[in-house]
Amino acid sequence: MKVLISADIEGVAGVFHAEQTRAGNGEYEAARRWMTLEANAAIEGAFASGATEVWVNDSHGGFRNLLPDLLDPRAQVVLGKPRTLGMMAGVEYGAALVFMIGYHAKAQTRGILAHTINSFAFARVAFNGVELGEAGVYGALAEEYGARVALLSGDDVFAEETAPRFPGARFVVTKRATGNASGVTQSPASVREMLHAAARDVVRQHIDEGRAPQATRAEAQPVECELRVQTSALADLFCQWPTLTRVDGVTLRFDAASAEHAVRMLNCLSAMSFMLR
């Protein structure tokens, strides 16, 4: 039974301000520890119900936030960038289940620290006409590899917007948003307890239902991606890529052969945007 945990930081209990997500200060050091312990709770819960292999993917920023020495030693940790599958790296090893821990709402919503992939560059991302946040974008990639997104955690706005995309998945609400940088949080300890129990239950249910312990990759389907960027200068930059079509001052489109190829293109554009910062 193989499980991949993708761990972000903005949806972690106690995290409300951008400073907590950026290296180089004491608040970040506390937040990365909370992030690590939430991931660890999910790892331990998965193993408690029969998972045989668990990967935990560091999915925030430079992908070097998790503290490996605090994680269950049975888990394998995916760190560093660039990497082809980004926040879903590890799914290629046959993970049957995916857990998205510490995720956040999509750009232009009222969720805590809400954004989609790159807050400086992207205002809206849609696949085949459906607007998606990071969970939706990377969930499409996971499903393309035959994995099922079964457990997600983050604030209440994230849970409300994402639940229709993954019917039957379990959600752990870590905090309630009252603004982009404000809200009411559960305690880190109580969230860890909920994550451990939810991970344990999800894995047990998967095994009891006789589902396959390892995913089989599905046939890829083409994706039309519409991307709204934050400024016309970013559109100028991105449209240097000859396969992008400009719809208006800040809206672009491109076609991809699969969700994986769409994700890879978005990550390339995200990296390009740093020249305008």
Q: φ, ψ for residue 101 (rounded to 5)?
A: -110, 135
User: 100 has which bridge partners?
Assistant: 6, 152
Q: How far apart are CA 162 and CA 104, in angstroms?
A: 10
Out of 115, 196, 206, 261, pick the active-site residue: 115
All residues at 6 or more sequence positions from 93 whose CB lies less than 8 Å from its CB, including other chains = 2, 4, 53, 55
Q: Is 33 helix (H, G, I), strand (E, B) or coil?
A: helix
Relative to beta strand 97-101, strand 130-131 is: unpaired
R_g (Cα) of the chain, nearest Å: 18
Check: CB of residue 104 under 8 Å from CB of residue 59: no
One-letter amino acid at 182 equals S
Q: How far apart are CA 32 and CA 54, in angstroms?
A: 20
Residue 79 Cα to chain centre, angstroms? 14
Give the number of C-alpha atoms closer than 13 A to the C-alpha of residue 195, restricted to the C-beta side: 32
CA dist 137 → 133, 143, 211, 223, 254 (Å): 6, 10, 24, 11, 15
Relative to beta strand 76-78, strand 53-58 is: parallel
Annotated binding site: 8, 10, 60, 104, 134
Annotated binding site for Zn(2+): 8, 10, 60, 104, 134
Q: How many CB atoms lie within 10 A of CB 247?
A: 13
Q: Is 36 helix (H, G, I), strand (E, B) or coil?
A: helix
The reply to whether 115 belongs to the active site is yes
The catalytic residues are 115
